[in-house]
Amino acid sequence: MKKIAVVILNWNGAKLLEQFLPSVVAYSNEAKIYVADNASTDNSIAVIKEKFPTATIIQNDGNYGFAKGYNLALQQVEEEYYALVNSDIEVTENWLAPILSIFDSEPNIGIIQPKILDYKNKEYFEYAGAAGGFIDQYGYPYCRGRIFDTIEKDNGQYNDELEIFWASGACLFIRKEVYRKLNGFDDDFFAHQEEIDLCWRAFNLGYKAKYTSESVVYHVGGATLNESNPKKTFLNFRNSLLMLTKNLPENKLFPILFVRLILDGIAGILFIFKGKFIHCWAILKAHFSFYSLINKTLKKRSGIQLDSYYHSKSIVYRYFIKSGTVFDK
C-alpha cells in the first residue's frame, strides 16, 4: 500500500476533472488517487472511468458538501496520509515528495499546506490559503500572501517552512490518525471554514500545522461558489460563528462572540450601502441559523481550548485603519 492518498471531492465537475486531473495523475506516482463523488448528475463518473481508469471512485449517495462528503469518503481510505485536493487544482512535478519528507521526519506535524498560487495569474498567490493561514483574536482568517482582498505577488518572500495555524481546504494534507481522532470535519458546516475549524481542534489537542514552499499547486478558486453568491456569504458568516463557539477559550467565548455579532451587523449595513441587499439578507439568515445550532455546537466543545490561538489582535483594525496589507511577522 502507498503511504499517501490523493482524494478529490467532486460534484458535477466533469469539466474540471478533465482539465485538472491529468496533472494529478502525471505527478502523483507516490500516491493512490481517489475521486469521491457527491452524487453528481453530470457525466463525471463516465469521464473518470473512460479517461482516468487508474483513479478509484468512491460514490456518496447525496450531495453532502465538502465536510460530510469528505467524512463519508475517507471512511474507505486507509493510506497513512491524506491529501485533500480540490477539483480545480493543478499540481506540479514532485509536489508530494516534500510532504512525505515532513510527515516521515516530524511526527508532531499533523497537517501540512503547500504554496498555493493563482491558476489564472500564476505569479500571484491565490486567495484560499496562499502561504499558510492564521486568525486574529476575533476569529477572522487571513494568510501570508493574502489579507482580505489584498493578494501579493510571489517574489519568493514566503519561500520557507513555517508553523501555521490553519491550512487551506483547497489542498490540505493530514495524517489519517489525526483526521480520525478529530472525527474529521464538522458536518454542520457543509462547506467553508470547516478546514479552519479542523485545524483549530487539532491545535487544541497539541498537533501542529506546517506550510512548505517546496510543494507548489495552482488553484482556480470559486469554481463551486464564487464571491458573488449569497450562499457563500451565508456559509462564511454562519460557520465563523460556529467555529468560535466550539474553539474559543472559556473566558473569551461570549465577549468575542458579542463583538463578532456587532461587526457582522456593520458588514450587513455596508452591503446595504453597496446595494448588495441579498448579501445583507444572507448575514441575517446566517445569524438565525447560528442561533438554531448554538446549543448543539456548545456541546461539541472539547475539554481543551488553548489561549494562544491568534497571531494578530485585530486584523480588521490593522488592515482597514492602519493600512497593514501584508503579513506582519
pLDDT tens digits for 64-113?
999 999 999 999 999 999 999 999 999 999 999 999 999 999 999 999 99
Instruction: From residue 147, give the alpha-carbon distance in Å to each of 105, 138, 167, 320.
Output: 32, 15, 15, 11
Instruction: Quickly tell me which residue has 458568516 as its cell.
Output: 237
pLDDT of residue 329: 73
The domain spans of the chain are 4-219, 230-320
Average pLDDT value for residue range 292-319: 94
Average pLDDT value for residue range 222-237: 81
Instruction: From residue 68, give the alpha-carbon distance in Å to each of 17, 98, 185, 265, 300.
Output: 21, 29, 7, 29, 16
Residue 267's contacts (CB-CB under 8 Å, 6 or more residues apart) are 237, 283
Average pLDDT value for residue range 216-234: 83
- Angle, helix 277-298 to helix 230-247, in steps of 10 degrees: 30
- The helix/strand/coil state of 210 is strand
Average pLDDT value for residue range 263-279: 95
Query: If one looks up domain 4-219 in CATH, what number appears?
Result: 3.90.550.10
- Alpha-carbon gap, residue 235 to 232, rounded angstroms: 5
- The helix/strand/coil state of 251 is helix
Share of the chain above pLDDT 70, in %: 98
The strand order across the sheet containing 146-147 reads: 133-135, 141-143, 146-147, 150-151
Handedness of CA 87, 90, 93, 97 (dihedral sign): negative
pLDDT of residue 216: 98
pLDDT of residue 244: 98
Q: Give the β-pairing of 208-219 and 109-118.
A: parallel
Joined grid coordinates for residue 125:
498567490
Tens of pLDDT, residue by residue over 163-221, are 999 999 999 999 999 999 999 999 999 999 999 999 999 999 999 999 999 999 999 98
DSSP 152: -
Q: 322 falls in which pLDDT band (50, 70, 90)?
A: confident
DSSP 153: B
Which residue in 328, 311, 258, 320 sits closest to 141, CA to CA?
A: 311
Average pLDDT value for residue range 11-19: 97
Q: 223 falls in which pLDDT band (50, 70, 90)?
A: low
Which residue in 82, 158, 92, 144 sits closest to 119, CA to CA?
A: 92
Say if residue 315's pLDDT is above 80: yes
- The helix/strand/coil state of 140 is coil
Say if residue 227's pLDDT is above 90: no
Chain centroid to Cα 54, Å, comes to 27
